[in-house]
Amino acid sequence: MPSWLRSLAFDRSPSAAKALSGLKAHTAEPNPVAVGVALLQNSSVETLELGPLAKLPPFAPVVIRLLRLFDRDEVEQAEIARLVEADPALTAEILGVVNSPLYAIRGRVTSPAHGVAMLGVEQMKALATTLAMRALLSGSPKTPIVRRFWKHSVASAAIAQEMAPLFTVDKGLGYIAAMVHDLGRIGLLAAHGEAYGSLATTVHQSVEEILEIERTRFGMDHCHAGALLSRAWGLPKSLREGVKHHHDECSDRRILGLVQLSCRLANGFMFQSILHRNPHTPAETMESFVPKAMHQDLTARLQSLELAAFQTIESFDF
Ligand SMILES: [Fe+2]
Ligand SMILES: [Fe+2]
């Protein structure tokens, strides 16, 4: 059963809460799994305002809780481990990836606590988000559109992680913000199925044309759809900004600027989610979008950014 379905089936009934409080009352040391369960029960998802977008199942509660931790300055490894432990399927998935050649960790990682100790808090959150996004898309038929959406998200995330220090953004935050920036496209695809699929399989003149068609046919563009979803899911403000404004004109040099540039470069490396004619080459994007002071530094990194995008896509392919 996919993790999102399992999370929806999570028992939030008063009797379950009573049983949990009884468990706590009779246990001298707090049971880490019970603590995690109690935390998850506070992760409600508000879906009333979503309309057809509610067809997209939300991230698992544990992932939403992990992402909300971006709103706090200090997060302890033990807290992350407790949250992950409360979701056995996510735990199994994470341990599978952490023990794969991708992370090249010596010895075997056997628990979330061990995993967080080896990877660190930010990497663990990034991994959980990657798996959550993959779960959203891998549940759909593996059409070329779904695969393009996935590759664009992963490529943007890998590029953002590499460039984050230049924007004085935390690497993990940059990675996750870019990973989720086009969440609205997945929402519109879930809500409108073939109608959005036909838009996504047509080659368009420009991004502006795509946004205009989305507004005309579906009543909102994917930025607005993503804003509704990320607000209903309770994602932190630092992530919602990129989701909502990544196609706006702006001269931001922090998280939003990082997401915008990562999305453009992913397109330039030919990882477009919806095809449009003559996307800017990476060199053109540098010229037209990047502040002069950053040109040299970023231009020197173009090759390694493209390589990072390819490698990350390969690592998380489904
Ligand atoms: Fe977009
Ligand atoms: Fe994008």
pLDDT tens column, 242-283: 999 999 987 777 999 999 999 999 999 999 999 888 788 998
CA distance 165 to 106: 28
CA distance 65 to 309: 27
pLDDT at 196: 93
Separation of 21 CA from ligand 1 center, angstroms? 44
**Structural domains of the chain, ranges and CATH numbers in brackets:** 1-139 (no CATH), 143-318 (1.10.3210.10)
Evaluate whether 21 touches 30 at the Cβ level (below 8 Å).
Answer: no
State residue 31's pLDDT score.
53
Cross-strand pairs, 204:
276
| d(CA 215, ligand 2 centre) in Å | 17
- What is the rounded CA–CA span in Å between residue 305 and residue 299? 10
The total of other beta-carbon atoms located within 10 Å of residue 19's CB is 13
> What are the angstrom distances between the C-alpha of 226 and each of 98, 223, 239, 299?
29, 5, 11, 31
pLDDT, residue 308, reads 94
Q: How far is the CA of 247 from the centre of ligand 1 (A)?
A: 6
Residues 235, 232: Cα–Cα separation, whole Å = 8
Distance 97 CA to ligand 1 centre (A): 28
Cα of 230 vs centre of ligand 1, distance in Å, is: 14
Residues of the chain with pLDDT under 50: 1-30, 32-33, 35-37, 39-42
Q: How far is the CA of 243 from the centre of ligand 1 (A)?
A: 8
Q: Return the ligand number nearest the Cα of 157.
A: 2
Q: Are 209 and 275 in contact (CB under 8 A)?
A: no
How far away, in angstroms, is 45 Cα from ligand 2 center?
25
Residue 204 DSSP code: B
> Which one of the ligands is nearest to 245 CA?
1
For 106-121, the pLDDT digits (tens) are: 889 999 999 999 888 8
Block residue for tokens 């998802």? 45
Measured on CA atoms in the order 296, 297, 300, 305, is the torsion positive or negative?
negative
Structure tokens at 286: 């540098």
Q: What is the pLDDT of residue 72?
A: 73
How many angstroms is it from 273 CA to the middle of ligand 2? Answer: 7
Residue 138, number of CB atoms within 10 A of its CB: 14
Q: Which structure tokens are listed for 185?
A: 């496209």
3-class SS of residue 65: helix
